[in-house]
Amino acid sequence: MSTTASLSDLTGDYVLDTARTRIGFVARHTLGTRVRGQFDEFEGGAYLDGDHPSKSGARLVIRTRSIRTGNPQRDELLRARFLDADDHPAITFTSAEVEQVDRTHYKVTGGLTVRGVTRPVTVDVELTGDDSDPQGNVRVGFKGSVTINRDDWGVNWNGATAVLVSPKVVLEFDLGVIRRKT
């Protein structure tokens, strides 16, 4: 992806390109090993204002049943006991504030809702590039991460879980968005 000469060229409404997006997580397990996983089903959109980034905003909805770690037994435990996917089918993030740090870095603050609990988080986001595809659609890429304490959202199964898996979880994303045609 190239980078547009002017951020104002990026202004508009965007929809998440699910084929070019990855939403993952990393949690430290006993003995220092890491458990990595991802979510396979999500949707979202954004409004980007290149002239006034603080007026930009985003919304993301992740289907909890789509969690995958490469271990079906662990995946089912995460769905049933940790995320309570039957009663809480989605994890959502809705931005409330966007702060531009420099030309390609931003701090996006908003509400993260997990298991019906909403808490504020600030995600460090990098604009990784933009380009037009062969159909003339403007595509923009972002990547970022945030470290959360899963206990703040009640994502815990039992007391032994705290010994086996660190409460700190890194949420990672690599997003592609496509500007909606007007």
Are 154 and 117 a contacting pair, CB within 8 Å?
A: yes
pLDDT digits (tens, 9 = 90+) for 58-75: 999 999 999 999 999 989
Are 28 and 172 a contacting pair, CB within 8 Å?
A: no
Please give the torsion angle defined by the CA atoms of residues 69, 70, 71 and 77, in that order, rounded to the nearest 10 degrees: 20
pLDDT digits (tens, 9 = 90+) for 102-120: 999 999 999 999 999 999 9
Domains (range + CATH), the chain = 7-179 (2.40.128.110)
Average pLDDT over residues 68-92: 94
